[in-house]
Structure formats: structure tokens, C-alpha cells
Amino acid sequence: MTAFFFLSGALSGCNTQALHQDDIYNPPVYWGRHVVRQGETLYGIAWTYGRDYQELGSANGIGPPWTIRAGQVLRLDRRGSVSSSSSRVSAKASRPPQNTSARAPAARSPGSATTARKPAVTRGPDKSAPLASRTQTVASIPWRWPHSGTVIAGYSASGKVNKGVDIAGKAGDAVRAAADGSVVYAGNGLLGYGNLIIVNHNEHYLSAYAHNRKILVSEGEGVKAGQVIAELGGSGAERPMLHFEIRKNGNPVDPTHYLPPR
């Protein structure tokens, strides 16, 4: 039987925990189909299934600017593109990001693990500067912390999985963009993340900011590093906090390998 998934509904094999902290459900998913609902974007769908948006788009005959339409069926396997009628897109379905590259990455084998190797740092942080203004250049991107609160849960790829870091804070605190980029998702349609923002930095890297009280940016908007993009909150969480992720080619990576030392 073919499985159909919806972002707002239950996902097979997961419990009621947030999907970024779950030792049972662990993307990527390479089987079944997804029926696009009104307001969904390829970025958000790919994020839910632990896939790279370019790889998922390519597998379904979708290219830049990665637009999709309500009712379109996306195959989650890699057995080729869907029919041309299914992959025909509407320019009104979603706004394209401002800086998305047209080059699609090479497909990865299903279930491939994210490398644990720490990425090369090309420029270290100025440790004399306040944490909120420090940057560290990794993978040609100057990264900075999105909030200066205490890290209450670190990244973990095994056991009780945490696909990012959880940072404590007070409701209403400023949440800042970790690097320059373009907002490709802003909403609350992804189970377990509450009010969520996803920023595209280049063809390889995305960052995410979850559990916000209020989103201050919109899809398609360009943002600068350090720009306030949301108010910290507890949407989809038991307490006010910021859940922050960095994903490389769709795979979660340890944000502390990219952010300046605290």
C-alpha cells in the first residue's frame, strides 16, 4: 500500500514528541508519496522528510525556482520523475527564494549518514567581541549565534536524537538570523516545530528557527546576519526556547561546528 503523508497530520512511525527530538522517527524518508496542500513549499516538505529540497525536486521533475501547486503528488522514492502533468508547476504556488542556485546536487544513497567530520574553519571568531556579534566563517558562510541564551540541549545523532541545539530564553527575546540568506519557509505547518522559519543560505546550507512566539519575516524575504527575524517563544514546546538547526544538503549537522565558540 502506498503511504500518503501530510505535514499537519501524524507521521507513520513517530510518537508525539517534536520531530527534532525523537529517537523513533528519524528522516530521511525514501518511500511513499506526499500530496501537496495549499500553502506548502518544497522546502518545508523536504525538511519534514529529511531530504534535500533540490534532490527531492529533481526526483519529481521540478527545477528552479522549485514551485509546486496544491494537489500535486510528490514521490518520495528515487525511481524517476512523476508524469509531466503532475510536475507542472504554477508560478503562484510559492514565491521563489532570492538567492537559490539552479544547480542540483548529486543524489545520495538512501539512508546515508551525515558525516561527523567537523567542517574546516576558514576564519575564527573575534573572542573579544560580545557573543551576539561574533562570527565564524565555515563553508564560506560567516555564522553567528541566533540567541545568546544558555544551550539546554545539544545536538545528538544517536539515542535521543536532537537535530540541532535548544537555547533557553525569555518569551519575546529577539531571534536573529545566523547568516545572510533568504526566507524559504515561515509558518507553523511542520509538526513539532511550532512557529518555524527556514532560511536558505546557499545551495548546500539551510538554517531553522523553531518555537517562535511571533514570526517577523515572510517567505521570499532576504535577511542579513544578526537581523531580528522572530520573537522567542514556546509554540510547540513545553517552555520558551529557541530550537536552532543547520542542515547541509538536507542532513542535520551539529550547529556548534559552525557557530563561534561560546
Q: Is 170 a domain residue?
A: yes
Predicted local confidence at residue 130, as pLDDT:
82
Q: What is the pTM of this model?
A: 0.71
Q: Is 180 exposed, middle or buried (0-12, 13-18, 19+ CB in 10 A)?
A: middle
Residues in the chain: 262
For residue 126, what pLDDT band results from cuts at 50, 70 and 90? low
The pLDDT of residue 31: 87
Q: Is residue 70 part of a domain?
A: no
Dihedral angle, C-alpha 2, 74, 40, 189, nearest 10 °: 30
Contacts of 165 (CB under 8 A, 6+ apart): 151, 153, 154, 155, 243, 244, 255, 256
Q: Indicate the pLDDT class of residue 104, thresholds 50, 70 and 90.
A: very low
Arithmetic mean of pLDDT, 118-134:
77
Tell me, yes or no, whether 78 lies in a domain.
no
Q: Which residues of 239-258 are buried (b: 16+ CB within 10 A; e: fewer)?
A: ebbbbbbbbbbbbbbbbbbb
* CATH code for the domain of 208: 2.70.70.10
Question: What percent of the chain has pLDDT above 90?
Answer: 54
What confidence tens digit (pLDDT) does each residue in 191-224 have? 899 999 999 999 999 999 999 999 999 999 999 9
Domain annotation covers residue 147: yes
Instruction: Calculate the CA 78 to chain-centre distance.
Output: 21
pLDDT tens, 149-163?
Answer: 999 999 998 888 999
Residue 63 within a domain: no
- Is 241 inside any structural domain? yes
Number of domains observed in the structure of the chain? 1
- Pick 75 or 24 by higher pLDDT: 75
Give the sign of the dihedral formed by CA 69, CA 71, CA 76, CA 82: negative
Contact of 54 with 104, CB cutoff 8 Å: yes
Residue numbers of the domain that contains 194: 123-257
Q: Is residue 127 part of a domain?
A: yes
Give the tens place of pLDDT for each residue, 44-75: 898 888 888 999 999 999 999 889 999 999 99
Between residues 18 and 110, the one the model is more confident about: 18
Residue-wise pLDDT for 160-178, tens only, equals: 899 999 999 999 999 999 9
Asked if 50 contacts 29 with a C-beta cutoff of 8 angstroms, the reply is yes
Cell readout for 78 is 528515487
Q: Give the separation between CA 179 and CA 163, rounded to whole angstroms.
A: 19
Residue whose cell numbers read 514570526:
215
Q: Give 116's DSSP letter.
A: -
Q: Is there a domain that residue 118 lies in?
A: no
Q: CB of 115 within 8 A of CB of 215?
A: no
